[in-house]
Amino acid sequence: MVYKESYPYRVYKLISQRIVSTQCNQEDLVAGVSEPPFIPLSKDPLALKMFHRIGLIKTTKETFTNQERIQKIIKDIAQADEKTPAGVEKVFALYSSGHAAICGKVPLCGECNLTEVCRYFLRRPSIKELPLQERPRERLTAVGEDSLSDAELLGIIIRDGTPEDSAVDLAEKLLARYGDFPNLATKTIAELSKLKGIGKARAAQVKAALAIAKRYNSKPLRSGDQIRSSADVYNHFHERLRDRKQETFLLVLLDSKNRIIKDLQISAGSLSSSLVHPREVFSPAIRESAASVIFVHNHPSGDPAPSTEDIELTRRLGEVAEVVGIKVLDHIIMGAGKYTSFKDKSLL
């Protein structure tokens, strides 16, 4: 029978050998019994824990899904091994909670003959199972963050692993798929969640940590701060814009002494007259009585060289600025670690 090659059947045979080797009543095991003298496996916490550890069910909870799964496994094994379902159930019950049980709250893997197939034994240890001196959080506390790898630092953020992977394993997989932290920061929660083991909650934790790092690295300008150079604008907006996947146009409003009144986003998308209209740009400037403005936008390609469209848009906005009596101080294009200032390049 094909089922004899299945994982549940191989587990069952190894368990049978274990029980027989401990000199249980072999007649019960071979002939089966009409009613197993145990709590039903789907209701027995120890049995559920054992089934979960060896990989036959996904959780240790007493659920209808687990009940159906266990009943199907027992039925298929009984058919393949020409036993009664009650006899098969007794084999599992003896192993999980009988005198031969070694897979209780703390499994005795050293005494178990299931290690060649047991998914609990074959998986990599979780962080909690590592010696204290090897756990990332304890090492960070003891010797500092410089001793930890990127994956270990990210593993501390992820916190919990899965039955197959520790938190550090998941972190290694994220970095292997998406590269370094700056590239990881460009991914959405939906993209991060595509990796098995990284659900929305873990993805949100990663995004939050990277957002904190981004804000820490930025040099914020606040209302009332004075703009002295294009570098001031770059240092303020670079971290905010560098990971954007589409062009974003921002407007900085200034008073007569080049002090910031506020900044606001005008549009997101390719820069064109349909997205960046003079009315949308200068209405807030007039409303806030701004004396001058600075235009800021990013190039997702990383190259801050102004395009023909950028130059044409700046010219058109400059013409409108003259009409409404507001000065355009600069137009700054953000790239990957660099920028272009229209004023510095004498393009204004």
Of 170, 188, 217, which residue is a domain's last? 217
Average pLDDT over residues 239-252: 85
Same domain membership, residue 117 and residue 31:
yes
Roughly how many angstroms between the first and final C-alpha of the chain, as a whole number?
81
Phi, psi of 137 (to 5 degrees): -65, -40
Same domain membership, residue 248 and residue 202:
no
Same domain membership, residue 46 and residue 114:
yes
The predicted-structure confidence for 148-195, as pLDDT tens digits, reads as follows 889 889 988 998 877 677 888 889 999 998 888 888 888 889 999 988
The predicted-structure confidence for 55-69, as pLDDT tens digits, reads as follows 888 888 888 888 899
Percent of the residues in the chain that have a pLDDT greater than 90, as a whole number: 22
Question: What would the DSSP string read from start to end of 112-146?
Answer: -S-TTT-HHHHSPPPGGGS-GGG-HHHHHHHH-GG
Mean pLDDT of the chain: 82
Same domain membership, residue 97 and residue 149:
no
Of 164, 182, 217, which residue is a domain's last? 217
Nearest to 78 by CA among 183, 4, 130, 165: 4
Q: Which residue has the higher pLDDT, 47 or 326?
A: 326
Q: Which residue has the higher pLDDT, 98 or 240?
A: 240
The predicted-structure confidence for 85-106, as pLDDT tens digits, reads as follows 888 888 888 777 755 567 766 7
Q: Which amino acid is at 314?
A: T
Number of structural domains the chain divides into: 3
Range of the domain at 264: 230-341
CATH code of the domain in which 180 resides: 1.10.150.20
pTM confidence score? 0.48
pLDDT level of residue 272 (50, 70, 90 thresholds): very low
pLDDT for the residue 23: 52
